[in-house]
Amino acid sequence: MKKNNLILYGGLLALGLVAPFIFPAFKVQLSILCVLIVLAITWNIQGGEMGYNSFGNILFYGLGMYLCASVQVGMFFPLAEWTESGGEKTFVHTPVQFFQGIAAGLVVAAVIPAIVAGLIGYSILGLRGHYFAIGTLGLGVAAGEISGGIEIIGAGQGFTTPPFPNVGSLEARGEFFYYCSFVALVLTFIAVKSIYSTRFKLVLNAIRDNEDKAEAMGIQTMKYKIIGWMISAFFCGLAGGIMGGLVGYIDSTDVAFDGREMGVFMVLMAILGGKGTLWGPVIGATIFHIFKEGFWTFFLGWQYVALGVLIVVIVIYFPEGIMGWLREKYPERFGEVIDDVDRKAQVELK
Amino acid sequence: MDLLIFQAPILMVQASMDGILLGILFALIAYGMALQWGVMNIINIAQGDLVILGGYIAYFMYLYGIHPAWGVIVSPIIMYFVGIGIYKLVINKVVDRDLFISILATFGISILFMQLMNFAFGADVVLANSGYGTTMLFDNSVTLPNSKIFAAIISIIFAIGLVLYMKKSKLGRAIRATAQNARAAKILGVDTEKVYAATFGINAALCGVAGALISITFTIHPYMGLPYTIRSFMIVIVAGLGNLPGVAISGMGLGVFEEFADYILGTEFRIGSVFLLLVLILVYRRFKLAKKREYLK
């Protein structure tokens, strides 16, 4: 079993490393896929494992996006003049400045959202169930509306991120952002996998299953909830920072705090793959991305209709997700021991 | 502070009047939300989109030369059947499931409606002109469009009518019984399935009325639904379920808050301030309840 896992992970890692050379035309799509997987995994930390279904993680994504771009610009040039119309044409980053900027920007984009999550966590995570869902939905939309009114980050007219400098071949930009997002994905996966093998995950699951009982057992639930949300926010912000550079243009409600797209996507991907599993979000995001690109290409204009129908269908008929379905079908593979008598009884019941 | 509203205090009167008239409309939508929340334990994210759809029905009557005020009659009738349709297709499958499932399912409906309306009616901001003129008060310094007054009166009539219907009619009694205890109501011979469908239909009809009034007094746009959902949710949690005078008062309070936010912070922060207020109210309630070691249920 151990050896199989090693082959699986090694194979996936190798595939990820060579993917941009095998499919050169799909580099941007692959980068977006990596970002989507990161988002699904981060949503799953508190949505799936902790049972706190958030619609507002888009807050951290958008925050990371704006922070990364602001740091990238603000380190070398006055930010306010950059975001004025045409400002990005006056100032040009040298390659060194660009890479320094994006490195610092990504660190800030990850750390600040985590701190924000820690600061608001005590207030927001005291809400439960649907109040938490609606409260976070409000947070996400409010962030979008408010950032759309702030002048220094471009307000309604948007924020152009620094263009990629002229180094290497024409393909360099795509490859750079692909490897950025792939490294982010690998980091997220390793972090989450190692977290899931500790007692921390059991605490999160206890909170999901019955918070009052967990508290009665002496677990400081609030502390763990905040830490869980901070981890989620950290990687969410990182993904946002990368996506900002990849898209090249930040708009408050259409790109950064895009609750109607990304905010729903991350929930949907995690549910499609299976909430509360390690691989569920990864599989869900991959399948979702393929579907989404198909819809966006062949049903252009009708994509949101398709999205709405897809949400309803998944939620009603497929709430357990792919991993949940597999788990029900092959419980042995997931380490659950069921003897034949039980299984027969189950089949007869059905 | 050198804001206009502090220099000319009469604007405060203007904002308060506007806010109260607007708030009565919000209260009508919130009433529908409280109804379905209390009876079916469902939070309908698509509430605002039902409102906008109702508004487009009135707008279309206006386009075809019928006075849009008749939308107040026509729109709820159409919306009632739309509501029943949504219930039969989606809601009845999520009624007794996890609350998050119903939130997500109605979110899906919301996106679907938004986009379908965008296709059907276009992405322009529209309004149906009622031609009611305006009333001037206080030496012409406060202007109140008559359409807003008309809207407030109609909403009050519908709200009172619904309260009476709930109290007196057989279906109303069945709905209230189901809200108190669905299982007991079922045992005593109430067809809860029918009650749920009727509740959702009535909610949609209320949204239809509100939408028709909004299309006369303000503007409608396919993507403007979500703020109405959030507003009505906020009004319901401030007032508490089943507290109808509370719904009316908190609705007006929200309307006044919005008008003042509009004047003080600027129009671009109007929607943002509504959403922030929601978060603040939730957090305030949470800390208040945490003192008693309880939480919002």
Residue A88 burial (CB < 10 Å; 0-12/13-18/19+)? buried
Residue A274 zone, left/alpha/beta (φ > 0; ψ -120 to 50; rest): left
A169 domain-assigned = yes
Please give the Cα distance from A134 to A140 (Å, whole number): 10
| pLDDT band, residue A111 (cuts 50/70/90) | very high
A350 domain-assigned = no
pLDDT of residue A329: 78
Q: Do A126 and B286 touch (CB under 8 A)?
A: yes
Q: Do A149 and B287 touch (CB under 8 A)?
A: no
Please give the Cα distance from B106 to B114 (Å, whole number): 12
**B 65-124 → A contacts, CB under 8 A:** 90, 93-94, 97-101, 103-105, 107-116, 118-119
Please give the Cα distance from A238 to A102 (Å, whole number): 11
Let me know: does A41 contact A192? Beta carbons within 8 Å.
yes
pLDDT of residue B103: 85
A338 domain-assigned = no
ipTM over 0.85: no
B150 touching A, CB under 8 A? no
A174 domain-assigned = yes
**Spans of chain B below 50 pLDDT:** none
**B 22-51 → A contacts, CB under 8 A:** 43
Q: Do A260 and B116 touch (CB under 8 A)?
A: no
A6 domain-assigned = no
Q: How far apart are the first and last CA of chain B?
A: 41
Average pLDDT rounded to a whole number, residues A252-275: 82
Mean pLDDT of chain A: 83
pLDDT of residue A278: 84
Let me know: does A58 contact A247? Beta carbons within 8 Å.
no
A214 touching B, CB under 8 A? no
Contacts of B43 in chain A (CB under 8 A): 130, 134
A49 domain-assigned = yes
DSSP per-residue codes, B67-99: -GGGHHHHHHHHHHHHHHHHIIIIIHHHTTS-H
pLDDT of residue A349: 56
Residue with the bigger pLDDT between A93 and A322: it is: A322
A267 touching B, CB under 8 A? yes
In order of their start, the domains of chain B are: 4-269 (1.10.3470)
Q: Do A135 and B269 touch (CB under 8 A)?
A: no
A230 domain-assigned = yes
Alpha carbon of A214 to those of A33, A55, A137, A219, A325: distances in Å? 36, 24, 26, 6, 28
Q: Which two tokens stand for residue A63?
A: 């925050």
A267 domain-assigned = yes
Nearest C-alpha in A relative to B96: A316
Q: In percent, how much of chain A has pLDDT > 90? A: 10
Task: Using alpha carbons, select from B82, B68, B106, B110 the residue that is nearest to residue B219.
Answer: B68
pLDDT (tens digit per residue) in A170-191: 677 888 888 888 999 999 999 9
Contacts of B271 in chain A (CB under 8 A): 141, 145
Nearest-10 Cα torsion for B18, B20, B22, B24: -160
Residue-number span of the structural domain to which A303 is assigned: 28-319
- Taken as a whole, chain B contains a residue count of 297
pLDDT of residue A9: 83
Locate all alpha helices (DSSP H) within chain B, ordered by sequence.
Answer: 4-7, 10-40, 47-63, 71-86, 92-94, 99-121, 146-168, 170-180, 182-187, 192-217, 225-239, 244-265, 270-291
- 3 state SS of B163: helix
Contacts of B90 in chain A (CB under 8 A): 312, 316
Among B86, B90, B112, pick the best mutation site for testing chain A contact (most A Cβ within 10 A): B112
pLDDT of residue A114: 92
Residue A85 has pLDDT above 70, yes or no: no
Please give the Cα distance from A58 to A256 (Å, whole number): 8
Average pLDDT rounded to a whole number, residues A291-299: 79
The predicted model scores a pTM of: 0.86
Please give the Cα distance from B20 to B148 (Å, whole number): 10
Q: How many domains does chain A have?
A: 1
A127 touching B, CB under 8 A? yes
Task: Using alpha carbons, select from A323, A290, A345, A319 the residue that is nearest to residue A32.
Answer: A290
